[in-house]
């Protein structure tokens, strides 16, 4: 058995086991921990399949922010009920069987379709490889997201904004309480002091590097969002219902810059949403990074704004 085959087999078995345990795990909390670990192993699996971009997204969203979100949800559930939540075993539900059959069918159909697609000539990929060098962007994923399929990305960033507005409208003027460790915990101060500046540095690096190598606005914003969530949970940032102009501006800056850029180029005789150069790619990505990050943090904190807590 070759090393590569051993990797394939162990990752596949590990992922299936973790997914099964996350759903069936004896208690809710054990299922949550299995889910967090599932995210980490999935990131390794994507890396093994040679997709660093997907591995980064999975590590940031799956293992980081979602894990914290589900843990906090569990804590709030416990506080509301004050008892161990009911056994989450999905086996008892008839709906689960229908969903499982439909889900398996969908995955099988997608798998068969992608195997069939391998037969033909990769037209889109070839066109992309031919067109990419002219743009000055080396990372094909950033090229597709910002230059070749910019309308899709514009709609995605608009959806993020719409999701935040909908969540705020649904929650109303209620403060959401979050579990915070003791402010005086010595390790906490050290951890936050070390992690916070490093996270900002790495996020900016991801944004800049994303033009040429794997990385980009979405990975950078996920990291910034994780930093924001960390600061909220560590009690360094406090959620508030007072809305500041800066927060509102940060929420819309991604959509705003993208729209203004897309319309502005028409003044110079270019088509709608044309990208005039690499500087425009980085400008749009930076604006999107700020918007996505602040939206995720505010969604997590369930608040209209954030304010720093003095030492």
Partner 1 sequence: MIDHLLAAAIVFLLANLALGLWRIWRGPTTADRMLSALLFGATSVAVLILMAEWQAIPALRIVALLLVMLAAIITITYAGISRASGSSDQPGGQQR
**Given the rule CB under 8 A, which residues bind partner 1?**
3-4, 6-7, 10-11, 14, 17-18, 21, 26-30, 33-34, 36-37, 40-41, 43-44, 47-48, 50, 52, 55-56, 59-60, 63-65, 67-68, 71-72, 74-75, 78-79, 84, 178-182, 185, 188, 191, 195, 198-199, 202, 206, 209, 213-215, 219, 223, 226-227, 229-230, 233-234
For residue 23, which of 102, 107, 91, 98 has the smallest C-alpha distance?
91
Query: Phi-psi region for residue 262, left (φ > 0), alpha (ψ -120 to 50) or beta?
Result: alpha
Nearer to partner 1, 223 or 250 (CB): 223
Nearer to partner 1, 57 or 256 (CB): 57
State how far the Cα of 128 lies from the Cα of 123, in Å rounded to an integer: 9
Q: Terminus-to-terminus CA distance in the chain, angstroms?
A: 58
Nearer to partner 1, 172 or 182 (CB): 182
CB of 240 to partner 1, least distance (A): 19
State how far the Cα of 66 lies from the Cα of 45, in Å rounded to an integer: 18
Six token digits for residue 235: 């009690």
CB of 304 to partner 1, least distance (A): 22
CB of 18 to partner 1, least distance (A): 8
Beta bridge partners of 117: none
Nearer to partner 1, 202 or 253 (CB): 202
Nearer to partner 1, 40 or 283 (CB): 40
Nearer to partner 1, 16 or 99 (CB): 16
State how far the Cα of 272 lies from the Cα of 67, in Å rounded to an integer: 40
Six token digits for residue 121: 């000539």
Instruction: Look at the block and give the residue holding tokens 């004896």.
Output: 26
Nearer to partner 1, 216 or 305 (CB): 216
State how far the Cα of 18 lies from the Cα of 37, in Å rounded to an integer: 8
State how far the Cα of 272 lies from the Cα of 270, in Å rounded to an integer: 7
CB of 242 to partner 1, least distance (A): 24
CB of 166 to partner 1, least distance (A): 25
CB of 280 to partner 1, least distance (A): 24
Stated as kind and residue range, the H or E segment containing 88 is none
For residue 225, which of 247, 245, 199, 244 has the smallest C-alpha distance?
199
Nearer to partner 1, 105 or 181 (CB): 181
Residue 190: CB partners within 8 Å, gap ≥ 6?
none
CB of 243 to partner 1, least distance (A): 26
Residues 36/67, Cβ–Cβ less than 8 Å: yes
Six token digits for residue 62: 């799956």
CB of 79 to partner 1, least distance (A): 8
């Amino acid at each position: 058995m070759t090393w590569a085959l051993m990797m394939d087999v162990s990752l596949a078995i590990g992922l299936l086991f973790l997914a099964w345990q996350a759903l069936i795990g004896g208690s809710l909390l054990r299922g949550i921990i299995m889910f967090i670990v599932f995210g980490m192993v999935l990131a390794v699996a994507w890396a093994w399949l040679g997709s660093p971009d997907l591995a980064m997204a999975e590590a940031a969203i799956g293992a980081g922010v979602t894990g914290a979100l589900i843990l906090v949800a569990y804590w709030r559930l416990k506080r509301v009920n004050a008892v161990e939540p009911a056994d989450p075993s999905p086996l008892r539900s008839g709906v689960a069987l229908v969903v499982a059959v439909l889900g398996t069918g969908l995955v099988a159909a997608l798998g068969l379709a992608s195997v069939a697609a391998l037969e033909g000539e990769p037209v889109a990929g070839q066109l992309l490889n031919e067109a990419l060098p002219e743009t000055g962007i080396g990372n094909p994923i950033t090229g597709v997201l910002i230059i070749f399929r910019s309308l899709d990305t514009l709609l995605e960033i608009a959806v993020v904004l719409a999701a935040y507005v909908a969540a705020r409208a649904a929650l109303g003027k209620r403060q959401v309480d979050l579990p915070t460790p003791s402010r005086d915990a010595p390790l906490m101060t050290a951890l936050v002091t070390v992690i916070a500046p490093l996270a900002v540095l790495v996020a900016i690096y991801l944004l800049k590097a994303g033009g040429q190598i794997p990385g980009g606005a979405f990975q950078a914003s996920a990291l910034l969002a994780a930093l924001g969530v960390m600061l909220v949970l560590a009690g360094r940032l406090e959620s508030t219902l007072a809305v500041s102009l800066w927060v509102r501006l940060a929420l819309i800056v991604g959509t705003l810059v993208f729209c203004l850029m897309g319309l502005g180029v028409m003044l110079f005789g270019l088509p709608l949403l044309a990208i005039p150069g690499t500087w425009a790619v980085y400008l749009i990505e930076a604006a999107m990074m700020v918007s996505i990050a602040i939206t995720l943090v505010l969604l997590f904190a369930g608040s209209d704004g954030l304010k720093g807590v003095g030492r």
